[in-house]
Every structure is written in C-alpha cells, then in structure tokens.
Amino acid sequence: MSKVPTYEDFCVDGKKVVDYICDYVKDIAKRDVIDYSLKPNFLHSRLAKEMPVKGEKFDKIMTDFNRKIMPGVLNWMHPNFYAYFGAGNAYPSVIGEMLSSAISSVGFSWASCPSLTELEQIVLDWFAKALDLPPFYLSKTRNLSSIGGGAIQNSASDSIFAAMAAARHRAIKTLQDQDSDRDAPPSKYLPKLVCFASLNAHSSVEKAAKILMVKLYAVEPNQEDSMTAVALEKAIKETRDKGLVPFFVLSTAGTTGQSAFDDIEKIGNVCKKYPSIWFHVDGAYGGNSFIVPEMRHLKRGMALTDSFNVNPNKLLLTAFDCSCLWVKDMKTFLEAYIVGSVDIEDQISTGIVDLHNFGVPWSRRFRALKLYFMFRMYGLKALQDYIRRVIKVGEHFAQLVKADTRFRVKNKPILGLVCFRLVGKSDETRRMAALPSPVDRLNEILLKKLNETNSIHLIPSHAQGKYVIRFVANQENCSEEQVEKAWRLIQETATKVLSSSSPHSSSMIMNDPFSKTRYLTSEQHESSPRRMLWDGASPVTIITDKDDDEDEDEDDDDDF
C-alpha cells in the first residue's frame, strides 16, 4: 500500500509552507511583477501530461511549484502592482483560511455547523455597524425590529446575481398576482422585465441579466462617470412607455473603471416612486471606505436601499474570496431560493437562517473565520488608518500627474484610484495620425511599454469616454515614496514613446495579453448591441478610418 500524507507529515511540511509564505511576502519586491514574455499555454509544456500513479515527496512538489508554477504568477501583492485592485493577504485572514480548510465543516445549515452559521451572522453585524449601515441590515439578534440580515458570498458578482434573482422572483410573483390567468408559467413575464445600471457598472451585471433572461438598460453616465437620477428616471419612463416592467436598479459606490460614486440618495428617491423596483448598491470597492466617517457622505441615501454588497478583499486587506451581502427584507429574499418545506417565518423569527437558503450555493465554507481574525487582530482604528493612507497616497499621485503638462487626470482620484492619459503635444501626436484615434494609440503604446519593463503592472480603462491608464495604489504598505518611484518610470517611458520615430501598429497592441483592449471596427460597433458594459480591465476601442486627429485633444485640455 502506498504511503499517504498524514497530519504528522503536515507538522513538518506545513511549517515549510509557512516559512515559504513569509519569505515570499518579505522578498516579493525582488521578484518581477510578472514575466511579460509568457504566452498562453506556457504551463502545459512544463508539467506532466497525467497525474502521478504513486504519490511524490512534498519537497519535490514544492521545488516544481517554485520553479515551474510561480514564474507564471502575477504577483498582486508586489509593491509595483498598480492594476485591478490590490488583493488582500493580511496574515490574520490567511490564518482564518487555514483553519477553515483544516476544520473542513460544511455550513449549509445551522445543524451542519452551528458556529459557522452564527459566526457569519456576528461578523456581518460587526461590519455593518462599522460601515454605519441602516439598522435594518442587522440580524434579529442585534436588532429585534429587523427583518433583514446578511451572508458572505464568493464575490460581488455572486452578490449582484443573488440580489437580482430575488428581485426577479418578487417581480414575477407580483405580475402573477395581477394576472387573470392564474396558471400562467413564470416564463410568461420574463420578456417584460428590465433592470438598470450605469454603463460604467461592472460587466457582472450584464452577465446576471443574461443568465436570468431579463433585459438590461445601461444608463449613460455623466461627465463625472456617475449615473444620475435624471438619466435613470428618463430610462425608466422610456421602458414603461413600451409596456416593460422596471424591477431592479443597481447603483455603484466606486466603479471598477474610475472609482466613480453614484448619488445613492437621489437614485433611491427615483426608485421609491416605482414599487416594482428593487434598489441594490454595489459597493464592492468603494463601500469599504464607509468605515471612515469622513467618507460617509458618499453613502447618503442607504436607508432607501433594498440590498448592499461590499468586498473586504478589495479594500480591507482580507484574503479573497469575501463579498458581504446584506438584504433589507429577508423573507422576500429567501422566497427566491428556498426549496422544499422550509418554514421561512420560523427561521426569521429565531434570527438564524440556514446559509444554503441565502443564494444558489448549497454548501458554504467557514469564511467568517478570516473576518473574525481580521477584525479582532487589526481593530477598527487600524483599518480606518489604512483607508486614510490609501486616500492620501492616491491624491499625492494625482498631483504628480497634474504637475506634468504632458498628462491629464481624467477622474476624481478617490480611494487610491487615478485614471490618467498622456496627451503629449499636438506635433507629437500628429505624427501618429496614420493610426486612428492617435491619442488613444499613444496611451496604448505607453501602457504596453510600461508593462514590458517588468517593473510595473497597469491596465487600461475608460474615463470621460476616453481611453486611460488606470493606476491603483491600495497595498497595505503603499506610500508616497513608492508612487513617486512609479511615476518617474512612467515619465521616462512616456518621453521615450513620444520621441520614438518607429511606427507602431494596432496589431502589436491587440496581440498583447497583458495590456488587453477589446477592438471593434466602426461597422461592428454599429451592428453590436448598444448596451454593453465595460469591465474596468478591457475597454472597447473603436477602430475607424475617419481622420479625427484634428480634434482628438479638444477634451484633454484640463485635468479633472
């Protein structure tokens, strides 16, 4: 019989892994952010074609892991990683992950693991109070008059889907009650349902609408990249005039692409006029900032919401995955998910809701442990200090950009996220007129050249309708000195790009997997569905034969 790994072995091997993790974090700055020469399928040639018949030694596996797998890892915790959002890896949350995996309880009901169910409720109540959320989001054990509460989901995408599915269930039930045909199937009403979100909302909204087979109306944002109440109400009236039923509105507190905040209060007041609408706020990134009192003006109007989600793994240092979702009316939410003879009223009255009823997944991990260790070991003050430091560092970087007349800041630099754009001088950009949208191409080339240095990692986005480079400084140890170093590299690379006389082709950029941009021709754009959402990482650039060099820079005269 082959020898299998035991927990006696883990006592030895586990210590080696902890040492490896500590060395990785300590020395991460010595690594490249990513090996930019990597091509898709690189790993297939390095690893065996089939699983081993006999088990192998731990040390050999770790050697292969370090030599073959780690070179293909994009090091999100690297001090020069300024793409997407800095992922959390604070060690208290890592400890929570280790314990969750080792305990291995599956929390689909209170009976399957009482502590798992109750701890999740407790830490979400702690978090809701720290964020200063309305009392109706607290569990019944903390607020006897509450009929709401929350649970941890995998990601913001899951939270949004869960809320939209519950809203759809409520809307269909209402339409059935109003229909004289009591035997009509739920599918009868799907063509009538329409949800609303900003064109700058995350594309997971579009995915949720697609899966739930409902229409999505993407509302055009204003010049500050926010969805306005006026534009939303116009869209709602437009769809109602067509006989459609608005059932779900998503507002964003910190968009992925620009960190733009919608006006929750004004949008909520519009939603209040239409009883069929479920109002959800996606605060995956920006919602974390509400633990800081001076940022709470951005959450004004939360009392008008029906649900809210926030991801501590995006801006509170917690290891992925961790998306916290709260709902105002637990009974209405649960009706969309409960199957079989479950007494909803009984679960709500006791204040203990089985977690398998809180969305599609039946089985639940002990994710509350990482928040439990994070909140206890950091404490509220340290987390508030971290948020304030992110804000300060982001504002400092924005000032560096504004001081160089070749660049423009194209968003409000909130929460460490700055969208900037190289505009150069008219004679420098005119040289690129052979390519469509010369300033867009200029920035695509700059982004590619920056990432090729292996010293920094950035991604593109759209802000104010323009292609921009998106810079996020929200690592735990982010500092003004770090972003100053990054800015010097950006300036030096921009100088080389502007002085280069070599031609740059669109195909060179299109084939670059790390500075990804989705391309459409003018004809494709005209024939494609108008309402497509950006995802904050792959902006759409329209390729046109029109010579727009003459007016390309008109809107780039001033910083935001």
Q: Each residue of 325-334: pLDDT tens digit?
A: 999 998 899 9
Contact 393, 473 (CB under 8 A): yes
pLDDT tens, residue by residue, 472-504: 998 888 899 999 999 999 999 999 999 875 545
Q: What whole-number distance in Å separates Cα of residue 559 and Cα of residue 411?
A: 8
Q: Give the CATH number of domain 387-556; options: 1.10.3720.10, 2.10.109.10, 3.40.50.300, 3.90.1150.10.
A: 3.90.1150.10
Looking at residue 538, what is its pLDDT? 53
The CATH number, out of the four listed (3.50.50.60, 3.40.50.300, 1.20.1340.10, 1.10.3720.10), of the domain defined by the range 7-100: 1.20.1340.10
Q: Which residues pair with 251 in a beta bridge?
A: 281
In angstroms, the CA 161 to CA 308 distance is: 12
pTM of the model: 0.88
Report CA torsion sign: 122, 127, 130, 132. Answer: negative
Cα distance between residue 380 and residue 473, in whole Å? 21
Both tokens assigned to 87 = 């992922």
pLDDT of residue 556: 62
Check residue 517 and give its pLDDT: 53
What is the per-residue pLDDT for 87?
82
Helix (H) or strand (E) holding 323: strand 323-327
Distance (Å, rounded) from C-alpha 254 to C-alpha 287?
Answer: 7
Which pLDDT score is estimated for 503?
46
- CB distance 267 to 295 below 8 Å: no
Structure tokens, 138 = 């607290």
Position 180 scores a pLDDT of 84
Please list the ranges in the chain whose pLDDT falls under 70. Answer: 1, 341-343, 425-437, 501-558
Cβ contact 245:262 at 8 Å = no
What pLDDT score was predicted for residue 90? 92
The full DSSP string for 395-419 is HHHHHHHHHSTTEEE-S---TTEEE
Q: List the chain domain ranges.
A: 7-100, 106-365, 387-556
C-beta separation of 139 from 146 below 8 A? yes
Q: State the architecture of 106-365 in CATH terms.
A: 3-Layer(aba) Sandwich (3.40)
The amino acid sitting at 477 is N
Contacts of 328-333 with CB under 8 Å at 24 or more apart are 328/134, 328/136, 328/137, 328/147, 328/148, 329/147, 329/148, 330/147, 330/148, 330/149, 331/147, 332/166, 332/170, 333/162, 333/163, 333/166, 333/307, 333/358
Measured distance CA(505)–CA(541) in Å, rounded: 14
Contacts of 492 (CB under 8 A, 6+ apart): none
Does residue 83 sit in helix, strand or coil?
A: coil
